[in-house]
Amino acid sequence: MLDIVPTITVVSAGEQYGRFQIAPLEEGHAAALGNALRRVLLSSIPGAAVTKINIEGVYHEFSTIPGVREDVPELVLNVKGLRFRCYAERPVRVALVRHGAGPVRASDIDTPSNIEVVNPNHYLCSLDSDDAELSIELTIERGRGALLADMRDAPLPIGEIAVDAIFTPIPKVNMVVERLASAGELAAHAAVLLEIWTDGSLKPGDALSYAAQLLAQYAQAIASFDQSAVAVKEPHAPGAAIPAEIYDLPIDILDLTTRTYNALKRADITKIGQILGKDDKALASIRNFGAKSVEEIKDKLRERGYGNVEQTPEPGLELAAG
């Protein structure tokens, strides 16, 4: 058990910037904890971004747009800067329709109740005449990390243009370890200072809390480790019942690539047990899954001692593809 219990002090907090101190910590633990929190903050906090657009009258990404000063590559670059709060689990399509001369901004996007534009003044393009018209359909998705346009498994239909989606809402995190200057017992203790910048879609304090919860899930899985049980543990056999402590583990602990992780999330697969209940054919039928994704899943499961996934799905574990 811990000899000391650290506390978190909010040094400074705003909508997009926060500075937090975690202290006191054992001197040898401070850097490990600070680095772990920083890496999770930068890589694993979910967010929302535009993944593709469809511009009326435009059929490929190197076109010009009648009546618009910017060409398609410039518009796509500006679209990448859009930031959203998204409360939908599945992709949402929104429309932007504008007539007449003047700048087009994020506030011109017509969003449903489950989508909120964080930066409504963000510039997208300009229409150069009173007769000009612009109609765009944007697809917004939730995810983690980034999904680059050239990472898509399947080509998009003609007219749809892929956008490099930067999901992470945390562009920057600074971490500093400071030795506490107190005398006596605390002389060998340290403090972690974390500076967190967000895109405005969530508060820095909420991001820090989420990162700590994710690390706690890893720690809990290790804390419940039963060496005697693992010593005689056989690989998960086809058709065998899946223990609850394995079934309920989140897929986050598998450290999957962004493409594979997002495909599972879109199929409402969030637990390891749901994966173990599927054979290769069922996994491959998941939308945007390919042979490489199936092999990645199997390798990650083997690394953690969960055996193979080539088994007959248990009743109730089947999921429709896509």
What pLDDT score does 212 carry?
Answer: 93
Cis peptide leading into residue 24 (ω within 30°): yes
Residue 289, token pair as written in the block? 């899954």
Q: How confident is the model at residue 184 (pLDDT cuts 50, 70, 90)?
A: low
Task: Provide the 3-class DSSP secondary structure of residue 107.
Answer: helix
Confidence of residue 123 (pLDDT cuts 50, 70, 90): very high
Task: Give the CB-side neighbour count of residue 175, counting CA atoms within 13 A.
Answer: 18
User: For residue 53, with 0-12 CB atoms within 10 Å meaning exposed, 13-18 middle and 19 or more buried, which class applies?
Assistant: buried
- Residue 258 near residue 164 (C-beta atoms within 8 A): no
Backbone angles phi, psi at 277, to 5 degrees: -85, 10
- Please give the C-alpha separations between residue 118 and each of 47, 94, 172, 200, 210, in angstroms, as whole numbers: 12, 15, 18, 6, 20
pTM, two decimals, is 0.67
pLDDT in tens, 204-258: 999 999 999 999 988 888 887 765 554 444 444 444 567 776 777 888 788 788 8
pLDDT of residue 131 exceeding 60: yes
Q: Which of the 8 DSSP states describes residue 322?
A: -
Largest CA distance in the chain: 77
Question: pLDDT tens digit string along 51-84?
Answer: 999 999 888 888 889 999 999 999 999 999 999 9
Residue ranges and CATH numbers for the domains of the chain are 7-45+170-223 (3.30.1360.10), 47-166 (2.170.120.12), 228-303 (1.10.150.20)
What are the residues whose beta carbons fall under 8 Å from the beta carbon of 123, sequence distance 6 or more?
A: 78, 103, 104, 105
